[in-house]
Amino acid sequence: MIGRLNHVAVAVESVEKASAVYRDALGAKVSAAESLPEHGVTVVFVELPNTKIELLEPYGENSPIAGFVAKNAAGGIHHVCYEVDDIISARDQLKATGARVLGDGEPRIGAHGKPVLFLHPKDFCGTLIELEQA
C-alpha cells in the first residue's frame, strides 16, 4: 500500500535557525519558509536527492505541534510521510484493520497541495504516520 518515503518531519522551535543548520553546516538546498495557519505550522523543506526533510515550527496558539516542541526544546522527529496512490482506498483499508485515522478521518490538503491523512502513532510502533496521495 505505501509507496515512496515523501519526507521526514522534524519539529523545531525556529525554522530560521534549523534552516541555517541544514544549509550552512550540511550544505543542503532549503526552501523559503511558508506559514500554513490552517495547519498551525510554518514549514521549510530541505531538498535531498531521494526525499525531503520537512522542518516544522509551531504557528499560533493552537498549533498541533506546540506541545511536542515544548517537550523537545532541541527539536526532534515528529512524523514520517509515505505516498499512497489512492488516499481514500488506503484509509478504508487501514480502518478495516483497526488502525485509527486522526481528526475526522477525511483527507485535508497538506503542505504540498495534495490530500493527506495522519495515523495514530500507537497503531504504528510509536510513530506518527502521514499518508499523502501521490
Across 21-36, average pLDDT: 97
Across 38-67, average pLDDT: 96
Domain ranges across the chain: 5-133
Amino acid identity at 62: N
**Report field, pTM of the whole predicted structure over 0.75:** yes
Give the pLDDT confidence score for residue 56 in this predicted structure: 98
Q: What is the DSSP string of 78-90?
A: EEEEEEES-HHHH
CATH topology of domain 5-133: 2,3-Dihydroxybiphenyl 1,2-Dioxygenase; domain 1 (3.10.180)
Q: Is the pLDDT of residue 114 over 90?
A: yes
Q: Which positions are catalytic?
A: 130
Confidence band for 61, pLDDT divided at 50, 70 and 90: confident
71-76: list long-range contacts, CB under 8 Å, 24+ apart. Answer: 72/11, 73/13, 75/10, 75/11, 75/12, 75/13, 75/18, 76/10, 76/11
Instruction: Report the alpha-carbon distance of residue 82 to residue 92 in Å, rounded.
Output: 16
